Amino acid sequence: MPTFVYMTRCDGCGHCVDICPSDIMHIDTTTRRAYNIEPNMCWECYSCVKACPHQAIDVRGYADFAPLGHSVRVKRDEEKGVIAWRIKFRNGKKDMDLLAPITTKPWGSGTPQLRDVEPPTQEQRDSQLLYNEPKYIRFDEGDIHTLESNGLKMKEGVDY
């Protein structure tokens, strides 16, 4: 559903241009507001809709199969860590509000800085282990799985 931009709400801030994965939200040089320059390369991913600080961007279902008169709106809030959706059917019979969490931590606080963690030993470098392994794979003291530990071997051919 390609996105479109309401003339009276857009102030040309460019948040949508910055985020669009398909590079199709551009600023019109005459109106100095954003618009979708290539609707048939729009995935309806809603990245721009979520990024717009003025709720100026909406979506109208693809003309080749979606009739007019529906609405799927969204508000994403990183501070509260939730996303709220409202779906309205064309015939007015269904009007749903749906809420989902987007994170369990204060936004941006959960990821580590690996430059500052204890550097890997030579033994770890020579092993098959990745960062945080094996402790992040299993609860016990065991190592990662190998062919030997699991009683397996590689055999060529159809027979298996």
Partner 1 sequence: MKYKTVIEDNIDVLVCGAGLGGTGAAFEARYWGQDKKIVIAEKANIDRSGAVAQGLYAINCYMGTRFSENNPEDHVRYARIDLMGMVREDLLFDMARHVDSTVHQFEDWGLPLMKNPKTGSYLREGRWQIMIHGESYKPIVADAAKKSADQVFNRICVTHLLMDDNKANRVAGAVGFNVRTGNYHVFKSKTVVVAAGGASNIFKPRSVGEGAGRVWYAPWSSGSAYGLLIGAGAKMTQMENRIVLARFKDGYGPVGAYFLHLKTYTQNGLGEEYESKWWPSLQEIVGKEYLDPEASHLSHRPIPTCLRNHAFIQEVNAGRGPIHMVTMEAFQDPHLEEIGWHNFLGMTVGQAVLWASTDVDPKYENPELTTSEPYVMGSHATGCGAWCSGPEDLSPPEYYWGYNRMTTVEGLFGAGDAVGGTPHAFSSGSFTEGRLAAKAACKYIDDGKAEGIKVSESQIEKRKEEIYKPMETYRVFRNEITAGSVNPNYINPRQALDRLQKLMDEYAGGVTVSYMTNEKLLNIGLKKLKLLEEDLEKVAAENIHELLRAWEIKHRHLASEAVVQHTLFRKETRWPGYYYRGDHMKVDDENWHVLTVSRRDPETGEYTMEKAPCYHLVDVEKDQADAA
The residues annotated with a catalytic role in the active site are: 43
Near partner 1 by CB under 8 A: residue from 8, 29, 40, 121: 40
Q: Contacting partner 1 (CB under 8 A), which of 7, 23, 55, 80?
A: 23
Whole-number Å distance between alpha carbons of 131 and 28? 47
One residue of 8, 101, 121, 141 binding partner 1 per CB under 8 A? 101
Q: Judged by CB under 8 A, does residue 8 bind partner 1?
A: no
Q: Find the binding residues for partner 1 in span 109-128 (CB under 8 A).
A: 109-115, 117, 119-120, 125, 128
Q: Binding to partner 1 by residue 32, rule CB under 8 A? A: no
Examine residue 2 and say whether the peptide bond preceding it is cis (omega within 30 degrees of 0). no
In the complex, minimum distance from the CB of residue 86 to partner 1, in angstroms, rounded to a whole number: 10
| Kind of pairing between the strands at 25-27 and 95-101 | unpaired
40, with CB counted inside 10 A (0-12, 13-18, 19+), is exposed
> Binding string to partner 1 for residues 45 to 74, with x set by CB under 8 A, is what?
xxx-----------x-xxxxxxxxxxxx-x
Q: Determine which residue in the list 21, 32, 54, 55 makes contact with partner 1, applying CB under 8 A.
A: 21
Residue 20 is a binding residue for partner 1 (CB under 8 A): yes
* Closest CB 18 distance from partner 1, rounded Å: 6
Residue whose token pair is 């065991």: 142
Q: Identify the CA nearest to 3 among candidates 52, 42, 51, 50.
A: 42
80 binds partner 1 (CB under 8 A): no
Minimum distance from CB of 146 to partner 1 (Å)?
6
Instruction: Please give, one letter per residue, the 3-state secondary structure of 90-139.
Output: CCCCCEEEEEEECCCCCCCCCCCCHHHCCCCCHHHHHCCCCCCCCCCCCC
